[in-house]
Structure formats: structure tokens, C-alpha cells
A and B are shown apart, each in its own frame.
Chain A
């Protein structure tokens, strides 16, 4: 947490219990975090449109605002006024809850993310496990969306998504083991603190495995089978409209942002960079957006995999690679 001895003093002077103070600060942080997420989503969507346009030799959005920069606000207002359709066959409660269960875990992941030296909301000792485990709850939301809509495309899409996330969670978690071994901690701030040399240099195999499985986790192309427009009509959120649709969309871009930030923390040295320490968050932001750019570059370069290729890659290539990485890391550390 942020250094709060002064706040604690203040609270005890006025007889405010610690938990109330904690709760109040948490509310402020939660709202600020949501604002940061929202801003990142706005920037990411704009970047996505512009970068994809660049890759395909188009202009992308140009008319609303300077170079189409206000396009997303127009889209948001449009979605806000769209009719909220409940299909008559839908399971009402599941249908209603699905966007919440998809979005909230993605957003909760940021609770442990250190963006600068000592700038982290809750520096858990098990932060790395937290950031793997909590966003994974989102799978349940996606399956809920599929089941709740009672639509063929939605159910097939949601199950594909779940199978894919399930398969890539294993290599993703195993690829991090090498980092934990070197850093000697599962606390995210200590992992960044120990990175005098970026772990992308010390752990190249782990980086590749982690990046590929992260792409699969966030359903980014080449792993976008769950929402293939051409065959599944956007998959699990086919039946959603208006604001509920927007939160699925939101969750997807928050997940992209989270993936980029986590890669920065684990492999790109987090807040480390030249200059004084208070520039940390700026370096962090630059690296994060560089990562997002890389993900989009991959997204607009590669064609989509087939489902059997996806499964083979996860279990037969990435999982053995991740284990070999643990072995090599262990051996090298024993020798040195």
C-alpha cells in the first residue's frame, strides 16, 4: 500500500477506526482504477483502429474529432441509447450477471500491480498467483454468457473460449516459474525490484511461452476462435446489445491492457528505466503501450488457427517448452 503512516496518525487523532479509513481509501482507489481502465480502453480502441487501418493501408476513423479521436465517445453514446434486448429464451439471471462476472475479475487483477517503486494498491506476498487466479474467474462469466443466451453460436463460442483458456493457463503459469526461481519471490514488487537485467534477456523461452499463451488467454487473433465473426457471429456475446455488450467489449480491452502490464512487470523490468525514480510510472506506461503495439502487430499479421492446432500448440509445444525452461533455469542456477 501507499505509505500511510500520516493517514493512520490522522485517523487515530480523530478516533476513526483503521478499517473505515481502509475502506474509504479503497473506494477512492477503486474509482481511480476504473477511470484508468476506462482511459486505457479508450486509447487502446483508438490505437487498434488506427493501427489496423495502417496495416491494411486504410485511414481508419477520420471524421469525428481530430483524426477520428472522438469516434469512441460517439460509439459509447450510441451504445448507451441502444435497446437492451433480453431474448425470450434467455435465462434471465445468468444473462444479466454474465457481463459483471466477465468484467469485474479483469478489473480486480490490477489490485496487486506495481506501476512504480512503492506505487501499488495492495502488495500481496502471493501477488503473482493472485494476478493469475483472479482474472481466470472471467471464464465463468463467458460460459454464463453462452449458457444464459440459449443461442447456438453463443454456446459454441463460450465453450471454445473456455477450452482455450483452460488449455493455455497451464503453460502460462508454468512459464513464470523460471522468473519466480530467479527473483526468489512471488511478490510482484520484489520481482520488478530484482530485475536489474530484464527477464526477457534471462528468460527468452519463458517470454515466448508467456506471450503466446497470453494471446490465447485474451482471445486475441491468431487465437480468436471463440468470436470468429465469419462463423460464430462474435461467439459468446451474440445475443447481447447496448450497455451489456459494451461491458464484454470493455472486459476484453481491460484484459488486453492487463496482459500488457503483466508482461511489462514480469519481463520488461517494470518501472526501471533511466532517470530518477519518480519517472517509474512513465517508463511503465511506455513499456506497456509498446507491448500493446506488439500484440496488435501480431493480431493484424497472423491468420486464425484451427481449433486442433490451438490445442496441439498449447499441450504439445508450449507445455513441454515451459517445463524445459524450468529445467534449464534450475540447471544454470545450480552451476552459477
Chain B
């Protein structure tokens, strides 16, 4: 019962803040509201008993990605009032893309049969995750380090190009 109340409260905050991010004219405000939105997502994870995923959501997204975005804003030259009105084709394209996305999501939502998992929630998610990384998912685990390396090298190359 209380789970439902928390879920709907979180969902309401998440939806309102997501809409606010999109509608906000000020980039800085948008990023800040996005941070709040990402916090509510962490709340959903906690509600699902995934405390490790939830806290990592805060750690990586709110503590990391939001800062990257803010520094990204600082990198771009600041122009107070950019009012480049979108052209008609651009607007039309946007509407079609959004409609297609909503249609797709709605289709997935209708097609899926939602089940309640009979499994008991895991007590110690961190150690279970650690065991699984080292046994069943060793290969993905190592591949991820290569992916991170690629991301790092890519970021450096892009950044250096920008510098010159």
C-alpha cells in the first residue's frame, strides 16, 4: 500500500521534472532539474530493493554526469538570449520523431505482460553483484574496461581537437 503511494509520488515528481527539463528555456536550469529527475530515478531503484544500483545512480549521474554537463555549458560561449526560431521542416520533423517514439513506447507497454516476480528480494545486493561479475559475467566485465578505455581516448582526442 505505502509502496504504491511512494511509487506514484516519485513518478509524479519524475514526470513533472522531466517535462520541466524539456520546457526550460535556460540551459543551466534544465541541467539542475535534470539532476533532481535523476535523483527520483534512484528512488525507484531503492523501491525495487536495488540499493546498489540506486546509490550508483546518484554517484555516477548526479555526482558525475551533471558536473560534466555543467562544465560543458561553461565551455560553450555564453549568449544570453538565443532565439533562433526553428524552421517549419525542423518542427515537422521533431513532431514526427516524437510521435513515433511515443507510439513505439506505447506499443511496448501494451504488448508486455507485466508479471510480479515470485523471487524474494536479495538482501546483500553488493556481494551478489560482485560474485556474478567474477563468475557468470567475467567476459562482459573485462569488455567494459575496454569500453571505458575507448571512451577515455575518444574524449581526449575530441578535447584536444577543440583546444587547437
A residues contacting B by CB (< 8 A) are 17-19, 91, 93-94, 97, 124-126, 129-130, 132-134, 136-137, 139-140, 143-144, 147, 159, 162, 166, 169, 185-186
Cα A169 to Cα B63 with chains together (Å): 10
Whether B63 contacts A126 by the Cβ 8 Å rule is no
A137/B56 contact (C-beta < 8 A), A94-B28, A124-B51, A126-B51 known: no
Interface residue B70 (Cβ < 8 Å from any Cβ of A): yes
Cβ 8 A contact of A136, one of B2, B28, B59: B59
Query: CB distance A132 to B67 under 8 Å?
Result: no
Chain B residues contacting A159 (CB-CB under 8 Å) are: 71, 74
The minimal Cβ–Cβ distance linking A123 to chain B, given in whole angstroms, is: 12
**Does A129 lie within 8 Å of B56, measured CB to CB?**
yes
Instruction: Contact check, A166 vs B67: say whether CB atoms are below 8 A apart.
Output: yes
**Could you tell me the distance between the alpha carbons of A137 and B62 in the complex, rounded to whole angstroms?**
7
Q: In the complex the two chains form, is B28's CB within 8 Å of A133's CB?
A: no
16 contacts between A and B (CB under 8 A): A18-B2, A19-B2, A94-B29, A94-B32, A124-B55, A126-B125, A129-B56, A130-B55, A133-B58, A137-B63, A140-B32, A140-B35, A140-B70, A143-B70, A147-B28, A186-B126
B52 an interface residue at 8 Å Cβ cutoff?
yes
A129 touching B28 in the complex, CB below 8 Å, given contacts A139-B67, A162-B67, A186-B126: no
> In the complex, which range does the number of interface residues on chain B fall in?
20 to 34
In Å, the complex CA distance between A221 and B55 comes to 30
Does B142 touch A at the CB level, under 8 Å? no
B residues bordering A, Cβ < 8 Å? Answer: 2, 26, 28-29, 32, 35, 39, 51-52, 55-56, 58-59, 62-63, 66-67, 70-71, 74, 123-127
Neighbouring B residues of A143 by C-beta, 8 Å: 67, 70
CB-nearest residue of chain A to B59: A133
Inside 8 A of B124's CB, which chain A residues have their CB? 125
List chain B residues, Cβ under 8 A from A139: 63, 67
B28 touches A125 (CB 8 A): no
**Cβ of A19: which chain B residues have Cβ within 8 Å of it?**
2
A258 smallest CB distance to B (angstroms): 16
B63 near A125 (CB under 8 angstroms)? no
Q: Which residue on chain B has the smallest CB distance to residue A180?
A: B126
Which 4 A/B pairs are nearest by Cβ-Cβ distance?
A: A133-B59, A136-B63, A19-B2, A133-B58
Shortest CB–CB separation between residue B55 and chain A, in angstroms?
A: 5
Q: Within the complex, what minimum Cβ distance (angstroms) separates B38 from chain A?
A: 10
Q: Which A residues lie within 8 Å of B35 (CB)?
A: 137, 140
* In contact, B52 and A126 (Cβ under 8 angstroms): yes
Sample of 18 more A-B contacts, CB < 8 Å, known A137-B35, A140-B70: A17-B2, A18-B2, A94-B32, A124-B55, A125-B124, A125-B125, A126-B55, A129-B59, A133-B55, A133-B62, A140-B32, A140-B35, A140-B62, A143-B67, A144-B32, A147-B28, A159-B74, A162-B67
Instruction: Write the chain B residue with the least CB distance to A17.
Output: B2
Q: Specify the chain B residue showing the minimal Cβ separation from A173.
A: B59
> What chain B residues lie within 8 Å of A137 (beta carbons)?
35, 39, 58, 62-63
State A143–B66 Cα separation when bound (angstroms): 11
Cβ-defined contact, A129 with B29, below 8 A: no
Select one of B66, B74, B123, B127 contacting A140, CB under 8 A. B66
For A136, give the chain B residue with the smallest CB separation.
B63
Residues of chain A within 8 A (CB-CB) of B55 are: 124, 126, 129-130, 133
How far is it, in angstroms, between the C-alpha of A18 and the C-alpha of B71 when the chains are bound? 44
**A99 CB → nearest B CB, Å:** 14
